[in-house]
Each structure stands twice: as C-alpha cells, then as structure tokens.
Amino acid sequence: MIFNVGDKVRFLNSDGYGIITKILGSNTVELENNFGFQEEYEISELVSERKQEDYQTENLSFDYQIKSKINAEKNSKKNLDLKRKFKHLEKYGSKERVVIDLHIENLIDTHNGMSNSEILKIQMTHFKLFLNKSIDKKQRKIVVIHGVGEGILRHEIRKELDIYHPYFEYYDASYDEFGYGATEIRLESKPI
C-alpha cells in the first residue's frame, strides 16, 4: 500500500490512529499518533483510514434499488402476516356484512402478563374502531365474534350499543356459522 504525508492511518495490532509526517523508506514511515507522539512504523502494520463517503456507492440508483427492495420485503412480510392472522375470517359472511374476531390472540401478538381488564380494554377499543369504520362505510350488518367465556365482553359490547347506538338492532349471530359466541348488529337506524 502506498501512503503519502498527511494520510490518516490506523494500526493493525493496536488501538488508535496516526497521521503520517514523513516517508522514511520504502517500508517505513514516521507518524504522529493520536497522543501527539512521533513514532516509526512499518507500512505493513498500518491501514489507511477511509472516510465515510468512501464506503458509499457512487451509483445513487443502486442505493435506491437496495432500499426499495428492503422496504418491499418488509411490506410483503407485513401483508403476509396480516393475511395469515385474519385468514379464518374468509369463511364468514357476505359483502353485506363484515366480521371482526375479538379474541385477544387475533388482535395483538402476545398478551402474557396482561390483566383481564387490560385485555377487555384492548378488545373494546378494537370493537369501537371497527364499529365506527363500519358506520362510515355504510355497512348494513356486522358480526362481532366475542366468544362464550364468562360473557363479560358480550355484555360490554351490548352495553356500548345500548348507550351510544340505541337505534341499532343486535342479536345472537347464526349458530350454524359462528356458534354461541357472536353478536350480529344491524347498522341501519330505526325510524323515529
């Protein structure tokens, strides 16, 4: 490797750096180390320090292609994860109604260590968001799968409907399609 006076170098066998002050021969240089001392080194013990710009590619379109490929792979994985997570809903319903499954394992990745009230809060938040989006999209009916359990989530959903949407009809969803743990809600308002 060829060094010039003023080149910044690092040491192969120790920490620190230095700046070449003299070329003493074909294999030896004098440098000032990072502590300000003059030292002689064999060229074979030194490595040229490169600037950060030296590590970047010269072709910006190449950088863009790499970044877009990385982002495409991330997005593809996210989409695949979402499809896998909600695949079980494809067998339900028609275009006239949409379905949400509020079982906690379908809403978040892990619920270890969460209290029942924290889980219920997450489930109700998802229910309210789903209900509001369905109303905005002018859906006619929705089905909320809440499970059987102790009936607390079912009770909270129906209480929410009674208080904030008293004109919506709700009833147990079809047992043949959903079993005992689902409520169907008709989002069409009754005339006053």
Positions of the chain with pLDDT lower than 70, given as ranges: 51-65, 82, 85-95, 189-192
Nearest to 17 by CA among 8, 30, 28: 8
Distance between CA atoms of 185 and 148, rounded to whole angstroms? 17
pLDDT of residue 78: 74
Distance between CA atoms of 7 and 18, rounded to whole angstroms? 8
Give me the residues paired with residue 46 across strands. Answer: 11
pLDDT of residue 118: 92
pLDDT of residue 28: 92
Long-range contacts of 120-129 (CB under 8 A, 24+ apart): 120/152, 120/153, 120/156, 123/153, 124/153, 124/156, 124/157, 124/160, 126/100, 126/102, 127/100, 127/102, 127/157, 127/160, 128/160
Nearest to 92 by CA among 141, 44, 136: 141
Strand-pair category, 46-48 with 8-11: antiparallel
Distance between CA atoms of 134 and 141, rounded to whole angstroms? 8
Q: What is the DSSP string of 98-165?
A: EEEE--HHHHSS--TT--HHHHHHHHHHHHHHHHHHHHHTT-SEEEEE--STTSHHHHHHHHHHHHH-
Whether the Cβ atoms of residue 144 and residue 182 lie closer than 8 Å to each other: yes
